[in-house]
Amino acid sequence: MSTAVKENQEVQHYVNGVYEQVKKSNAHETEFLQAVKEVLDSLVPVLAKNPQYIKHAILERMVEPERTISFRVPWVDDQGNVKVNRGYRVQFNSAIGPYKGGLRFHPSVNQSIIKFLGFEQIFKNSLTGQPIGGGKGGSDFDPKGKSDFEIMRFTQSFMSELSKYIGPDTDVPAGDIGVGAREIGYMFGQYKKMRGAYEAGVLTGKGVGYGGSLARKEATGYGTVYFVNEMLKSKGLSFKDSTVVVSGSGNVSIYAMEKAMELGAKILACSDSSGYVYDRNGIDLNTVKRLKEVEGKRISEYVKEHPGSVFYEGFGGIWKIPCDIALPCATQNEIDEEAAKLLVANGVKAIGEGANMPSTLEAVDVFLENNVLFGPAKAANAGGVAVSALEMAQNSARLSWTFDEVDGKLKEIMTNIYNDSLKAAEEYGVPGNLVVGANIAGFVKVADAMITQGVI
């Protein structure tokens, strides 16, 4: 047995031990454990080459959030009933900058989901090349069916507590599922009132009229397509004349569809949590935007206006549709092993994860084993947080860049993330594996900063 193989085995044994400990202390947090497992396993080659990361217990420290806050959010509905939800903010890692990550309002939110998202955010934010640490937050509040006033009262109550822990140099939240421009607006107003100061840089995803950045709304979806475009180019392929299936019909999905169409693709289907629409003539994005961004309706309404299209109930069936490129842009674990096998059997060439952790660990293995181009979430959807950091930069400098300036920077950042991930994969002996490459490229910068700053 060569020395290198022996070293790798010893390191794998150490990593397994760290993971067992994480399992023991977070036994019921399945999503968090899934995210940790993927990252830890991919770090074996980098630990074997750099034993200082083991000596300084970097893994043991990284898997433990610096701070986990959970709090009561009482609010009053339109009928005068008092309701209570739970709020969270996980401040995971501040080695390279203030905590940064979105807020999610969805009934499925729990500590495990917020921790998995916060953990992923550490590496994603590092990959952007900007000085931002990792965090995430949210609530099990369900915004569906709530009036504007109910949303306002809930978000004000949520911010009354959260405001104690955030600030432009401390922790800078943004949107995520269920939190868009409206919610950010109400939260910013409440924060301003509580602080008695106009601290524009405390939240990102703000309206452009009061400190928001042009192209922030488009950034995650556009960025995902820019990233996939780089993967396609490496094989002499492109979006032009390709067929694309996109799950979800929210912020990330809509702008991923827009950019893919601009590059010449035909979008065959999109979805929401009730089901999916298939339109063989190509999805009409204006209809989707109106239904979702303006009227707040279900995606099933689409077929009333487009007679050639069909609505299918159930969320997962969308992956049965044969396509060249699949962009999961809705939520975690939406592509399981079976769906991945179907996509491969139907000839999919590339996957770009617009959502966070939309593929299970087994599904990722299926894609990699079958040489499907695979853009992992940490890298592929980093465009949103990257432009959030550009929003912070504009707020600090008290100026605003044009749409094209921001979009140009976004494209450059996505290309850099692709190249850095590819380079790290090559350097550590897994050429072309962007899952391992992105994890390593994101990890090294944070780990080195942690060592430099001592045991804190």
Using CB under 6 A as the criterion, which residues of the chain lie in contact with ligand NAP when the complex forms? 106, 108, 175-178, 220, 248-253, 272-274, 315, 329-331, 354-356, 381, 384
The answer on whether 124 is annotated among ligand-binding residues is yes
Contact 104, 177 (CB under 8 A): yes
127 φψ region: left (φ > 0), alpha (ψ -120 to 50), beta (else)? alpha
Query: To the nearest whole angstrom, how small is the minimum distance from the Cβ of residue 208 to ligand NAP?
Result: 15
Phi, psi torsion values for 103, nearest 5 degrees: -115, 130
Q: How far is the CB of 409 from ligand NAP (least distance, A)?
A: 16
Q: Is 121 annotated as a binding residue?
A: yes
Q: Which is nearer to ligand NAP, 46 or 179 (CB)?
A: 179
> Helix 111-127 vs helix 383-397: angle between axes, to the nearest 10 degrees?
70
- Apex CA 445: angle with CA 441 and CA 448, to 5°? 135
Give the nearer residue to ligand NAP in terms of CB position, either 10 or 338.
338
Nearer to ligand NAP, 48 or 339 (CB): 339
Q: Which residues, 6 or more positions from 295, have their beta carbon under 8 angstroms from its beta carbon?
A: none
- E-strand ranges in 220-349 read 243-247, 266-272, 275-278, 310-313, 325-328
Q: How far apart are CA 91 and CA 106, in angstroms?
A: 20
CB of 250 to ligand NAP, least distance (A): 2
415 in a labelled binding site: no
Mapped onto helix, strand or coil, the DSSP state of residue 391 is helix
Nearer to ligand NAP, 58 or 332 (CB): 332
- Three-state SS at 199: coil
- Please identify the residue of the shown chain whose CB is closest to the bound ligand NAP: 250
206 is in an annotated binding site: no
**Residue 136 annotated among the catalytic residues of the structure:** yes
- Supply the minimum distance, in Å, between the C-beta of residue 292 and ligand NAP: 7
User: Was 220 annotated as part of a binding site?
Assistant: yes
**CA 257/CA 224 separation, integer angstroms:** 10
Residue 147 is assigned to a ligand binding site: no
Of 6, 83, 136, 206, which is the active-site residue? 136
Q: Please say which residue, 91 or 331, places its beta carbon nearer to ligand NAP.
A: 331
- For residue 137, which amino acid is it? G
Kindly state the smallest distance separating residue 331's Cβ from ligand NAP, in Å.
4
Task: Tell me the catalytic residues.
Answer: 136
Annotated binding residues, written as ranges, equal 100, 121, 124, 175, 220, 251, 388
Annotated binding residues for substrate, written as ranges, equal 100, 121, 124, 175, 388
Annotated binding residues for NAD(+), written as ranges, equal 220, 251
